[in-house]
A and B are shown apart, each in its own frame.
Chain A
Amino acid sequence: MKVIYATMAGLVLSLLVSHGDQLNSGEDAVILESMKMEIPIQAIDSGIVKEIKVNIGDFVNEGDALIVLE
């Protein structure tokens, strides 16, 4: 199981993947928004999207799990 974590605290602006999608290492998965900045969060490993742990508009802390790959 591989997990994509939030690299900063902020709001989930958009989810770029759906359940079952193939995600390759380095591809953008989620866009977080914080303090007028938009930060894309990339997959570090490749895998199939197994679980999306957040919804658009959620507040996440740095280190929170966003997406689980398998």
Chain B
Amino acid sequence: MFSKVLIANRGEIAVRIIKSCQKLGIEAIAIYSDADAEAPHVKLAGRAFHVGPSRVSQSYLNMDRILAVAKEACAEAIHPGYGLLSENPEFARRCQVEGIIFIGPKPEVIAKMGGKVRAREIMKAAGVPIVAGFEKHINDVAQAKGFAIELGYPVMIKASAGGGGIGMQIVHKDDEMEKALKACQGRAKAYFDDDSVYMEKYLESPRHIEVQLLADNYGNTIHLFERECSIQRRHQKVVEEAPSAFVDEKLREKIGNVAVQGAKAIGYSNAGTVEFLMDKDKNFYFLEMNTRLQVEHPITEMITGYDLVEEQILVAAGKKLDEEKDKPKLQGHAIECRIYAEDPKTLLPSPGKVNSLTLPEGDFVRNDFGICSGYIVSPYYDPMLGKIITWGNDRQEAINRMVKALEDFQAEGIKVNIPILQKVISHPKFIAGETHTNLIEQILTEE
């Protein structure tokens, strides 16, 4: 087992990982930028090292500096959290070279799933259903138009190196193709330094359903059921729940097994998530695989009793899973609301000082936050401040507890998206479980 683990992340997820380290008796080593000198994750950690200026490119993405700190602190392993370096195969490889365990899958597995065209190819070969589309990059507008005619409009152009919906463009007709192609390539180049894009059929108002996996270093893989993350805005998840109200036991077993089959085909290890789109007839299609811990992992923890971060650390240290005995039992229902620093009217970012913060309390309410009263939310980082998670014996009880929790949440000094979350949670369509990826836009335009 490890005695020291470096957490190469910030915010709520760094806090979350430190807590599991402490539970296991591991010393947590934090890193921080200029802007984060006073952040809760720095105060909570056993030791903390400054790694650079506020911009992530000079601090949280600075591999040389982070690896040097890990060596100086004698960390045996690095937990990358989500975002930042978590899906960077080069970072995982460099950890390997330095003799530090990267808490995640092997670098070649990260690389295989990171290229979205290649991931489609691999999953198709493994018998996992994929969205109609092409396993090749688009060269020019003429070729794109040809592809679109073959698939039938509307189609989606996506960044091959991407994820999280960055750069994604929906194209309804030929005239829109050139602009959409350029826009997607431009964003892909800016964000991923790789302008290759590909095309898939656009599914109208699908559900976003994902399966949580856990695999050890010996090929044993289990699934921890599905999460539904259909409530999204600008392709960013806002409300998630587990299990999905749309998935019955039979479908749950089927989609779970398909995800396990895909993971085994690539030699997956550690925690990971296979994302699917599901249509109204319950057909599901592979979207992408996230080779890391997800933001929304707490809802899976709430319905299974597993501590996923603890499991990640243990399997990275060599723990063996038993595919039969370690199968989780599904208990109750959990909902997560992401709290964003944004103006609920203009939907624009709202950084600034948190003058006071009151988090909801109560049984079956969990708060995962990386801020506190007096903390300055910087414009340099993601607007997500944290998450509120509630559990209930059934879906309605979890919703009722979330309604109360959102009422009790108070942050002064910055604007947060609480009014939007309240609208979603109390909307008849959400309550009825009739969720899809365009529901927030519909709710917001109803006024």
Contact = CB atoms under 8 A, between A and B. Distances in A.
Nearest to B343: A8
Interface residues of B, number: 13
B107 interface: no
A40 B75 CA distance: 43
B348 A39 contact: yes
Contacts of A35: 341, 349, 351, 379-383
A53 interface: no
Contacts of A59: 379
Interface in A25-46: 33-37, 39
Contacts of B350: 8-9, 62
B349 A9 contact: yes
A36 B348 contact: no
B352 interface: yes
Interface string B340-354: 010100101111100
A34 B346 CA distance: 14
Interface in A1-60: 7-11, 33-37, 39, 59
B381 A7 contact: no
Contacts, number: 40
B348 A7 contact: yes
A9 B346 contact: no
Given A8-B343, A59-B379, A34 B352 contact: no
A1 to B, nearest CB: 25
B352 A36 contact: no
Contact of B346 (A7, A10, A33, A36): A7
A34 B381 CA distance: 8
B352 A8 contact: no
Contacts of B348: 7-8, 34, 37, 39
B342 to A, nearest CB: 8
| 5 closest residue pairs by CB, A with B | A8-B348, A34-B349, A35-B349, A35-B383, A34-B379
27 contacts: A7-B346, A7-B348, A8-B343, A8-B346, A8-B348, A8-B349, A9-B349, A9-B350, A9-B351, A9-B379, A10-B351, A10-B379, A34-B348, A34-B349, A34-B351, A35-B351, A35-B380, A35-B381, A35-B382, A35-B383, A36-B382, A36-B383, A37-B348, A37-B349, A37-B383, A61-B352, A62-B350
Given A7-B346, A59-B379, 8 more contacts: A10-B349, A10-B351, A10-B379, A35-B349, A35-B351, A35-B382, A39-B348, A62-B350
